Structure 1
Amino acid sequence: MQQPLGYVKCDSNGTPFVCHLKKALYRLRQALRAWFEKLKQFLISIGFVGSNFDASLFVRIKSGSTFYVLVYVDDIIITRSLTIVIDWFVRLLNDKFLLKDMGDLHYFLGIEVTHSSESQHLCQKKYIRDILDQCSMTDAKSVHTLMVSSSTMSKDDGECLEDPIEYRSLAGELQYVILTQPDIAYAVNRVCQFMHNPTTVYMVALKRSCSICMALLSLGFFFVHLLDCLWLDMSMPTGTKYRSLAGATNEVTWLLSLFQELQVKSDDTPIVWCDNSSAVAVAANPMLNSKFKHVELDMFFVREKVADGSVLVGEVPTCDQVADVFTKPLSVTSFTRFRNLLQVFPVGKMGEC
């Protein structure tokens, strides 16, 4: 780092000195890492333990009190089982760092949080409105489904956009909306496959996703309820389906480990629903090994999880396959039905869940 003009000091050989920083400067590449390490050491010094399953999560469990701290750069969410512990922690944090207490959590990284007596509910109403303003669609008509179920799309459809920046920016912003609106995942991921050379046809499809966001806004706030089961759709050969089943089981295992670390217990065993009877049979029956010699051995850990009771694997009829929302365009009836089964509801219906 060069010395400022007008104040240049040199050694006896005329070589300019360099600055020795006492702390990382804002916007330097190493600043974020240095800040996180400093905050981490402080949290550890007062009894927190870094999570083994989420690097940004810190947990403190003492004397029957459970305390969680979630860190995103310099934005921090804290929650606890005892209110008095919050006040103690904020005072300690304020003595060590300059902070601004924003009070109860209402808005964080584009996600709005509303509170009820039993839980918190997430939505991105403001974030969606900003997207609609950005693409001049605040007065657009809403649609009920993201894609026409009979449509087929090709990379050669339509004319190439002269400036693809708007398309790519809008697609990226809609990817973030999927956090609280998983029902738009298929359409958004479909149009994202053509980011390198978007056409006018795909811009229309992308803005259709914005139109259904308009429909979501008309319903008010939404929340996503964490299910005790996972729906898996695999329209592919059985061996590949079993690999997908293993991947889904891996995600469930990670969630269970995280919940255990958070001292959160569930009386229900997670269920992975699959619409392929062969994959379900292989997960439960080791005698079928001879037919799956081409599948890597590490994929068969699903059987271990089923055997020890950590996870259940069940078969679901194709007509009831909720994961179709993520894999194909659907009719209005099917789309609405599966979205409700995903537990994505307006706040007004929360009591019915």
Structure 2
Amino acid sequence: MQQPPGFKDSNYPSHVWKLNKAVYGLKQAPRAWFDKFSSFLLKFGFECSFKDPSLFVYLKNNDIIILLLYVDDMALTGNNPQLINALLQSMNDEFRMKYLGRLSYFLGLQAHYNTDGMFLNQHKYAEELLLAARMTDCAPASTPLPLELQKVKGQDDLFDQPTHFCSLAGKLQYLTLTRPDIQFALNLVCQRMHAPIVADFTLLKRIIRYIKGTIDYGVSFSKNVDFTLRAYSDSDYAGC
């Protein structure tokens, strides 16, 4: 290591700085921050989920708090307002934090509340996806896939921008959080990511055109439902 230009000390030419605190930009910073914050939560009484290390659950008697952490953004919910306020106060004493109030926008997810429950969608994220695909003015499609896939043009020609194809497919995958209606179509397209052809890109654009016409679609959560497990399947006209 050498002293950088402009910060050379002629009296101590062989000395270097010792880092006492992790800061943004260092590869170790996210790990150091997560270790510090998770240690605080564990001390408070939370347990870390084995399925998702960024999910922390506090469960004591009839009180429950669920905290989801993504770098320095977090979503928090629970059934005891007093306990949540105590947690927020403890976090403010330990860290410099900003409380943004009721959940409205988190990592591309938009929350809308009504008397029956909550509605989640990704309208803003979908608009950004259309912009990234340069398809903001495209004609909307009524279905995510055409009826006869084998008749899509470009079956024998490799697509000349595979990186662009993979980037758009990846963005669409995140959209399936609130858009299960495109999961089958996107899964079909993603099976060709290793060597996409022109027909695959045409199908990908078809999904984006479908998003254009259904940009406000999402998932509704009602508070007046039972706990019966229900499942739905997406038909491909017996083509499987």
- Deviation (angstroms), 1:203: 1.6
> Residues 66-81 of structure 1 correspond to what in structure 2 (within 5 A)?
66-81=64-79
Provide the C-alpha distance between the structure 2 equivalents of 1:267 and 1:131, rounded to a whole number of angstroms. 35
Please say if 1:169 is aligned against 2:79.
no
Secondary structure of the corresponding residue to residue 191 of structure 2: helix
- Structure 2 unaligned regions, length at least 5: none
- How far apart, CA to CA, are the structure 2 residues paired with 1:6 and 1:95? 38
Instruction: Please tell me the residue identity of whatever aligns with 1:135.
Output: A
Q: Does the Cα contact within 8 Å between 1:180 and 1:224 map onto a contact in 2?
A: no
Q: Which residue in the other structure is 2:37 paired with?
A: 39
Which aligned pairs between 1:1-353 and structure 2 lie closer than 5 A? Answer: 2-8=2-8, 16-62=14-60, 64-152=62-150, 157-217=155-215, 220-223=216-219, 268=228, 270=229, 322-325=232-235, 328=236
Identity of aligned residues (%): 34
CA gap of 1:65–1:323, structure 2 versus 1, over 3 A, is same
Change (3 A) 1:267 1:24: same
Please report the TM-score for the alignment, with normalisation by the length of structure 2: 0.83
* Secondary structure of the corresponding residue to residue 152 of structure 1: helix
CA contact (8 A) 1:145 1:330 kept: no
8 Å Cα contact 1:159-1:200 kept in structure 2: yes
Equivalent-residue separation in structure 1 for 2:161 and 2:8 (angstroms):
47
Q: Calculate the TM-score normalised by the size of structure 1.
A: 0.58
* Structure exhibiting the larger radius of gyration computed from Cα positions: 1
RMSD between aligned residues: 3.1
- From the two aligned structures, give the one with the greater helix fraction: 1
Q: Quote the Cα distance in structure 1 between the aligned partners of 2:39 and 2:151.
A: 52
Q: Deviations over 1:323-344 (max 9, x none)?
A: 244xx3689xxxxxxxxxxxxx
Distance 1:38 1:136, change over 3 A: same
**Structure 1 residue ranges (4+ consecutive) displaced by more than 6 angstroms after TM superposition:** 9-12
Amino acid at match of 2:233: A
SS at match of 2:214: helix
Q: Show CA shifts across 1:154-204 (max 9, x none).
A: 9x7153333333222211111111111112112212222222333322221
